[in-house]
Chains A and B, each alone.
Chain A
Amino acid sequence: DAGVIQSPRHEVTEMGQEVTLRCKPISGHDYLFWYRQTMMRGLELLIYFNNNVPIDDSGMPEDRFSAKMPNASFSTLKIQPSEPRDSAVYFCASSFSTGNKLGGANVLTFGAGSRLTVL
């Protein structure tokens, strides 16, 4: 498996522009997570999905952020309009669960990240 694939790896944009980050999870994984990492705030969970359904989006900073998972193999994180304070590395991660058992579950496999710079 190629692992979790994120695109773009780097994005430089101007304030006010729309940004779309993409993620392809590992095939067979039923959880998908979006994290944001900055020096100031560390690693923050933005939103996560289970079986393509958003479970917890309490970490999404504000209405400018939205995430979708139209199918099991694709998710997007959109920022519209973007602001300089959104500059960060955005990681996508996926994992699988084994029914009600935690054993074997919840080991996260991270993508390489998308480094976003908003000027």
Chain B
Amino acid sequence: AQSVSQHNHHVILSEAASLELGCNYSYGGTVNLFWYVQYPGQHLQLLLKYFSGDPLVKGIKGFEAEFIKSKFSFNLRKPSVQWSDTAEYFCAVTSNTNAGKSTFGDGTTLTVKP
């Protein structure tokens, strides 16, 4: 069964600091990878996705993620965070043998101090 692990449960940063959130998945086949964001009191929204091609994908609000197949990783990065980035971030994966089902990580809560 596919699984997703997010290493950091809670990250606290000051504004303008750089961000990297780890995500590893366990599945050897073809995968699609996603990062979703949930702002306080809101529903999950797509931040960025990787299907194929350039392993470095750009998302909204200056976020990017890099797919490293050899490491089964899809880490999320942002060079300079803002207070408005305070949210919970979820990594998710779908596979070519379970195309309808997204498996989510446990989420990482990011708190950005002004």
Contact = CB atoms under 8 A, between A and B. Distances in A.
Interface of A: 31, 33, 42-43, 45, 48, 50, 55-56, 91, 93, 97, 102-113
Interface of B: 30, 32, 34, 36, 42-46, 49, 51-52, 90, 92, 94, 96, 99-104, 106-107
A109 to B, nearest CB: 8
Contact of A103 (B52, B101, B103): B52
Contact of B43 (A103, A106, A110): A110
A40 to B, nearest CB: 11
**Interface of A (DSSP majority class):** strand
Given A42-B106, A43-B107, A105 B44 contact: no
Contact of B45 (A31, A105, A110): A110
A106 B107 contact: no
B90 A106 contact: no
Q: Which 4 A-B pairs have the closest CB atoms?
A: A110-B43, A106-B94, A110-B44, A42-B106
B43 A111 contact: yes
